[in-house]
A and B are shown apart, each in its own frame.
Chain A
C-alpha cells in the first residue's frame, strides 16, 4: 500500500502537513494524492471505530451474520439480487463467498426482534433466496485489525542505552 494510504488507514486524522513531514513529499503533493484517491473511490470515507459495548446504550444493538443461499439469475448472476439485498439499510456488509452458501451478510438492528423481522419479512421471502442461516454475535474481540480491549501499559523501561 502507498505510504499515504497506510498512514490514513491507521489514523484518518493525520493532517496533510503531518503526512508531508513523515513522507518527505510536499504538502501540495499529499493533498493532491488524497484528493485523487477520494475521487477514484480508493478512499471511500473517513469514519471512527467505536466499541459499542462501552457506550451508554450497549444493550440497544445486535449484530448477526447471515448466510444466504441464492439461485443466480441469467446474465447478471448474483449481482442483481445482491444489490437488492445490500440496499436494505439493515445490511451493513455484504460479501459473495465460495463454499456452501453464496452471500454472507452482516445485519444490524436494535434487538433480536428487529433483526428477525428483517429476515422473516424482507430477506427470506425474496424470490431467488433459497435459504438463510443466522448467527447472532455474542462478543466482539477484534474488528478491522483492531483488538477491542484497552491497551496494556508498555512494559519497557523509560530509559535505556
Chain B
C-alpha cells in the first residue's frame, strides 16, 4: 500500500506543540491559562433556542450559503453595529467557524505562487491555510516595542512582488493587539498603495477594551478589497457551535460558496439557529462578558509585570504574550517545567513560530480565582529557579 502523503502536507510545520498539548490533556488538577476559548458557557437563551430547534425537528441541511434568516440577521447586525452594508444574498456566506472562512478565502483567491503577507506572530492556521491553497506565506514580523501591532512600515518592508493579499487579525490571538481607527487608516493607505486584498479576521471584535473596534471594511475605499471574517464563537461563548460568517465582494463570496458547497455543504442548522438568537438578543451577554474580561486583563497584566514576566497592555481578545527572556529558559522548557512542578498550563511562544521562543501565551479566559492561584504558583516557580 502506498501511504505517500501529499507534499504540501508533508512540508507543513510538524506540530511539536501537539506533544506538549497531549501532556497537558493527560494531567489532572491543572490550572490552565492555555485555553483559546471563553470560560463562559453559551448564554442559556442561546442554548435554549438550539434545543427548541431540535424539538421542532430542524435537523436538515440548509442552503449552502446558510439560512436566509441568519444571513439577514448578520447583515442587519453589521449595519446597526458598524454601519457596514452587505447584501445578505450575494455578499454573505455562513461558514463552519472563522477557520473554514479563512481556508475558503485563501483557496478562492490564490493561484500557485501568489504571496500572502502574514503577521508574525499570528494564529497558527494562517500559514498552513495559505500553503494548502498553493500560496506562499510571507512573514510580516511585528515588534514587541510596537505592542505586536503591524505598522505601515512593516508592510512596506515585507512587501515583495507578487503579493496578492494580507491577512490581518485584530484583536489578535496570541498577542491581544488591536488598532484604533487612525492606525487602521494608516494601514489602509499602504494596503491601497500596494493594491492588496485583506483577509480580516475580526472574531474578537467585541472584546476590545480601550476604544471602539473599527472594521477595516468600514473605512472609505476599503470594502471592495476586504474579506471580512467573524463569527459567534468568542463574543457569545459559542465555540462548539462552529458558526462563522464571511462578508465580501460578490465575486469572491460566489467563489468561496462554490468550494464550501463541495467540501462542507453547509454549517449545522442547530448552530445557525443558535447564532441567529445570539445576534438578535445577545448584546447584554456580550457586554457582561466583556466587562469581566476587561477586569481580568487589568489584573493579569499588573500581576505578571509585578513578578517579572514583562508584559505589554493588550487592547483586546483574552490573551497576553509576556516575555520570559530574563529567566533564561526556552518557552517549551519553561512551559513544561511549570506544568510538571506547579501544574499551571500555558502555551509556549514557540507554538507561534521560532522567533517567539522568548514569550508565552497566557489566556485570561479563566475565573479570577484561578488567575490568582496561577499567578501565585508561577511566582513560586520563579522563586525556585
Stretch at the interface among A17-25, A52-60, A87-95: A17-25
Does B207 lie at the interface of the complex (its beta carbon under 8 Å from any beta carbon of A)? no
Report the contact-size class of chain A (Cβ under 8 Å from the partner).
10 to 19
Asked whether any CB of chain B lies closer than 8 Å to the CB of A97, the reply is no
A159 part of interface (Cβ distance < 8 Å): yes
Which stretch from B32-40, B90-98, B157-165, B217-225 is at the chain A interface?
Answer: B32-40
Interface residues in A21-62 by Cβ distance below 8 A to B read: 21-24
Inter-subunit contact A22/B296 (CB<8 Å): yes
Q: Is A158 in contact with B347, judged by CB distance below 8 angstroms?
A: no
Q: Mark B331-356, 1 if CB is under 8 A from A, else 0.
A: 00000000000000101000100000
Q: Please, which residues of chain B bring their CB within 8 A of the CB of A7?
A: 295
Known: A159-B21, A160-B35, A161-B351. A3 touches B291 (CB 8 A): yes
Residue of B nearest to A6 (CB): B291
Q: Could you say which residues of chain A place their CB within 8 Å of the CB of B32?
A: 158-159
Indicate whether A22 sits within 8 Å of B298 (C-beta atoms), given known contacts A159-B21, A159-B25, A159-B347. Answer: yes
Interface assignment of B109: CB less than 8 Å from any CB of chain A: no
| Contact of A159 with B291 at beta-carbon distance under 8 Å, contacts A21-B303, A23-B298 already known | no
- List which B262-311 residues lie within 8 A (CB) of chain A: 291, 295-296, 298-299, 302-303
- Count of inter-chain pairs, beta carbons less than 8 A: 55
- Which residues of A sit under 8 angstroms from B303, Cβ to Cβ? 21
Q: How many positions in chain B have a CB within 8 Å of any CB in the partner chain?
A: 28
- Chain A residues with Cβ below 8 Å from B173 are 161
The answer to whether A18 and B299 touch across the interface, beta carbons within 8 angstroms, is yes
Give chain A residues whose Cβ lies under 8 Å from the Cβ of B35. Answer: 156-160
In the complex, which residues of chain A have a beta carbon less than 8 angstroms from the beta carbon of B25? 157-159
- The reply on A76 being an interface residue by CB < 8 A is no
Chain B CB within 8 A of A137 CB: no
> What is the CA–CA distance of A49 and B124 in the complex, to the nearest angstrom?
44
Interface of B toward A, CB cutoff 8 Å: 17, 21, 24-25, 27, 30, 32, 34-37, 39, 123-124, 173, 239, 291, 295-296, 298-299, 302-303, 345, 347, 351, 368, 372
Q: Which A residues lie at the B interface, using CB under 8 A?
A: 3, 6-7, 11, 14, 18, 21-24, 154, 156-161
